Structure 1
Amino acid sequence: MIGGGLAGSALATLMAEDGISVTLYDAAEPFESRWTRGMQTAPQSQKVAEPEIFYDPEGLVQDFFARFPEMPDKLVRSAHGILGLKRGRRKPAIITLDHGLAYALITRRTGLMLQAITAFGLWQKRYASEDNRVELPKGMESPTEVIREEDLQKSGTYHRDGLAVLAEVLFSMPAHRCSNALLGRILLPKAKSVFSRSHAPVFSAIDPIILNDIALPALRDRFVTAGGVIMAHAQLGDIDSTSEYATDLLFGEDTQIVVKPEDAVVLALHPKQLCDAVPDIGFAPAPARRQTMVFEMRRQFAEPRCLFTSDDLVRAIYCSRRHIQVNLNSNVHLSSDTTPDQFAYRIWQRCTWLCDQYLNVDLGVRSENAKGIDCPNFSFVDAEAPFPELTPGLAALRHRLQPPWKNLFLCGDSFPADYAPGPAALFASVKQVRRQLQTFFAS
């Protein structure tokens, strides 16, 4: 097993408990998560990490951790998601996403004909060309583009706004770079799901601090108890073979391992490292960065909630613990003539209005403004998104990726075709590769 992040650690533990001899290699320390790369330390030394609020209608993440009784129940919990949309001067529309994205967007339309057209449009996206991109509504274009007043007055559709916002939030990149085909498969994995309504919440939240501090150490103990071997600080070189099987693993400059045909090699790697190790696969990851601000609150939120908006400054707001974490619009940048305090105040004002409009949350009573400025203590986080996507064209084709050797398997959030990169995709991949490995060893 190459890669000791959550995907590699989870799969390695399951395989070890299946009775397979497993050695886990990682360039750093295994059993750590990429979710806390942007973690900051607040003035009171309270950890801050953006909650991962994700779409998981099948409950894959909760099902995985439920098999380990030592994992805290509050590691994964239901999260309330709202899509807030506004066209020009029209009154904002509020769509609650607890019953599914496709269902919410379809039932928002008035009349059976419009609902049927919307449903057909969503279903059609699943089969769009890989070069077909999510269409942007007015107000989400490049800031250098001039938007005419008459364009802002056009009625437009909430449907288009909703898809653009969802694409940008789910993929942590500008919406116009996202593939319609991938977004369509996420919204509608199957044709019958167009009008399906699940009564269980389809959004969940995972706490990255509990994950790193409690869950992964518990997973490590299970792995070692089952006989797993950990090789930390093993820098992966290239993988080579002259047959149908991977036969060579090179670590750094001086450690080489000969792999037998009956041995399996699993790569649970970030897409960039995967491409470096196996250039035969021939794809590259797209850049995925999250420009995020964190505001410190005085009162704690009882449950994690999220708001996705088509605002020109703010793309998503996460309420978690004693903090508000704000994902900024990908087009927003701190101008040279604006101080960080002025920029933070501007973002805080917008967040206050948005939370009042959409979440019915009064941030004023929860906040304690920092001395000398009109907004709470804040910090900037410009970190790599925890789940980077492949390049938009290849994202639509990732279900066709084939490892070049029979005993090489790919595991991670970037590979399941019907899931957005994220926790649900990660555990779907773990489940799939576990079945593949069982078949491989059985033969």
Structure 2
Amino acid sequence: MTSFGSGRVHVIGGGLAGSTLATCMAEDGLDVTLYDESEPFESRWTRGMQTAPESHKAAEPEIFYDPRGVVAAFFARYPEIPKKLIRPTHCVMGLKRGRRKPAIVSLDEGISRALISRRIGTTMRAYTAFTLWRQRYASEEERVASTLSPGTFATDDKAFKSGTYHRDALSVLAESLFSMPAHRCSKALLGRVLVPDLREILARHHEPVFSAIDPIILNDIALPALRDRLLAAGGTIKAHTKLGDIDSTSEYATDLLFEDGTQVVLKPNDAVVLALHPKPLCDAVPDIGISAAPAYRRSMTFELRQPFAEPRALMVNDDIVRAIYFNRRRLQVALNSSLQLPASQDTAQFAQLVWQRCVWLCEQYLALDLSTRVDGDDKNQAPGHLFLNAQAPFPEMTPGIAAARQHLRAPWKNAFLCGEVFTPDQLPGPAALFSSVLDTCRMLQKFFA
């Protein structure tokens, strides 16, 4: 165990990454200070994003990529955090192309297996398996090509236009998982999600690919538990401290300058961890040389009367909706990135339009009548709703950024990056975040050794 005399750890950013790393380091015996620009551990979105106080129950879609169970393994060490934080889930891919029926996919079994099994004949299955496997090792320059165009599903007459089920499935996943238009997502990025490796495709007992995370438990139970453990281990939390700049010598960071006028002088054996979103990270440390290109997540949340038994998702290419997520009493709708909201249309009218489309999609693909889950006499009226138009924390994976990540290094010997900046083999999401935290922990232990 490292002693307190080894130096202090200054963690900048009190989101999920920063608070998790600070807690781990404090429990390791290090002297840790956590800085946050607002009040640490207030309700946040699943991936560390802040929401307004009145909307803190509106969560980001809860489906996430975790093939090695990193998130579940991390929280297993904290008995006060319910095990149901992480649960298995499934989805329906209702693509309606080429007269194919929608594919019912168990996300614990993996998307690649489902896509392969949809093919008719051994030859077509082998070909699909080969193309999926090849995409895992494709160049970051190769984009996902969609056969769809905006408004393809404006009418049922266009729904049976000939197309490739496999390619459309990639487009839906790109839109849903990475909060960006499909054509901006590389085949290599999506291939690593769809196909862990060739051995896994052939394995009889496969690893789960997708799971579901309950954001209410994460926000209201897990983060306060981490806060309490950090304080119990001797750590310090400083709120309302937004990082302004970092002074340095040619090799070491020497001073932390905050916008409230606070200055922290770093000792030679102190370490600084930047657990920031890409844009503030690049603003604070321009030496990194990576320009953030944030994606935007637009979603509509509806509150229902009757809860759903288990988490599930409906992924569908539609001119309005790209995915619907069912969790407890909430229906979260991820909107199509190409959808243009007329300036003359207010939120209530827009919510009614989205709700009517959700009712039709759920009836079409799930034989689910949403009107039975709505309070009030008018079952066709949109229930209580919340429209979110927020900046997603992860940058779009343009070829330049994807290439830069392979060479991304902290500019000084005592500065470390954690949370929102991942190595090429890590995919955006909670699993990558926790993997980044564990990697940073190992680097800090080596620094203080």
- Work out whether the TM-score is over 0.5: yes
Q: Does 1:22 align with 2:28?
A: no
Residue identity matched to 2:172 = V
How far off is 1:229 after superposition?
A: 1.3
How far off is 1:265 after superposition?
A: 1.4
Contact 2:12 2:274 in 1 (8 A): yes
**In 1, Cα distance between equivalents of 2:343 and 2:26:** 54
1:128 maps to which residue?
138
Q: Give the 3 Å change call, closer, same or farther, for CA 135–51 of structure 1 in structure 2.
A: closer
Contact 2:41 2:227 in 1 (8 A): yes
1:430 maps to which residue?
437
Superposition map of 1:165-204 within 5 A: 165-196=172-203, 198=205, 201-204=208-211
2:67 maps to which residue?
57
**In 2, Cα distance between equivalents of 1:219 and 1:87:** 46
* 1:85 aligned to which of 87, 95, 111: 95
2:50 maps to which residue?
37
Q: Does 1:388 align with 2:394?
A: yes
| CA deviation profile, 1:359-401 (whole Å, cap 9, x unmatched) | 343212222357696332333222233x423442245332431
**In 2, Cα distance between equivalents of 1:370 and 1:274:** 50
Residue identity matched to 1:257 = V
Contact 2:153 2:318 in 1 (8 A): no
1:216 maps to which residue?
223
Contact 2:303 2:331 in 1 (8 A): yes
**In 2, Cα distance between equivalents of 1:195 and 1:126:** 15
Contact 2:245 2:256 in 1 (8 A): yes
Q: Which moved more, 1:348-357 or 1:29-38?
A: 29-38
How far off is 1:38 after superposition?
A: 4.5
1:266 maps to which residue?
273
How far off is 1:127 after superposition?
A: 3.8
2:237 maps to which residue?
230
Q: Give the 3 Å change call, closer, same or farther, for CA 62–109 of structure 1 in structure 2.
A: same
Q: Does 1:362 align with 2:369?
A: yes
**In 2, Cα distance between equivalents of 1:316 and 1:259:** 47
Superposition map of 1:33-432 within 5 A: 33-35=44-46, 37-38=50-51, 47-87=57-97, 90-138=100-148, 141-143=149-151, 155-196=162-203, 198=205, 201-252=208-259, 254-336=261-343, 340-369=347-376, 374-385=381-392, 387-397=393-403, 398-432=405-439
How far off is 1:420 after superposition?
A: 2.6
TM-score by length of 2: 0.87
**In 1, Cα distance between equivalents of 2:25 and 2:341:** 48
Contact 2:301 2:331 in 1 (8 A): yes
Residue identity matched to 1:17 = E
**In 2, Cα distance between equivalents of 1:390 and 1:149:** 32
**In 1, Cα distance between equivalents of 2:355 and 2:59:** 19
Residue identity matched to 1:16 = A
Contact 1:313 1:332 in 2 (8 A): yes
Q: Which moved more, 1:59-68 or 1:335-344?
A: 335-344
Instruction: Describe the SS at the equivalent of 2:323.
Output: strand
Instruction: Describe the SS at the equivalent of 2:176.
Output: helix
Residue identity matched to 1:58 = R
How far off is 1:171 after superposition?
A: 0.7
Instruction: Describe the SS at the equivalent of 1:257.
Output: strand
TM-score by length of 1: 0.88
Q: Give the 3 Å change call, closer, same or farther, for CA 129–330 of structure 1 in structure 2.
A: same
1:7 maps to which residue?
17
Unpaired runs of 5+ in structure 1? none
Instruction: Describe the SS at the equivalent of 2:314.
Output: strand
Q: Give the 3 Å change call, closer, same or farther, for CA 220–164 of structure 1 in structure 2.
A: same
How far off is 1:51 after superposition?
A: 4.5
Q: Which moved more, 1:234-243 or 1:193-202?
A: 193-202
**In 2, Cα distance between equivalents of 1:153 and 1:215:** 46
Residue identity matched to 2:233 = A
Q: Give the 3 Å change call, closer, same or farther, for CA 342–210 of structure 1 in structure 2.
A: same
Q: Which moved more, 1:109-118 or 1:64-73?
A: 109-118
How far off is 1:244 after superposition?
A: 2.4
Residue identity matched to 1:37 = Q
Q: State the identity as a percent.
A: 59
Q: Give the 3 Å change call, closer, same or farther, for CA 255–50 of structure 1 in structure 2.
A: closer
Q: Give the 3 Å change call, closer, same or farther, for CA 148–390 of structure 1 in structure 2.
A: closer
Q: Which moved more, 1:117-126 or 1:57-66?
A: 117-126
Count of residues in correspondence between the two structures: 435
How far off is 1:303 after superposition?
A: 1.8
Contact 2:94 2:101 in 1 (8 A): no
How far off is 1:276 after superposition?
A: 0.6
How far off is 1:236 after superposition?
A: 0.6
Contact 1:236 1:251 in 2 (8 A): yes
Contact 1:416 1:425 in 2 (8 A): no
**In 1, Cα distance between equivalents of 2:87 and 2:438:** 21
Unpaired runs of 5+ in structure 2? 1-10
Contact 1:241 1:248 in 2 (8 A): yes
Q: Which moved more, 1:212-221 or 1:389-398?
A: 389-398
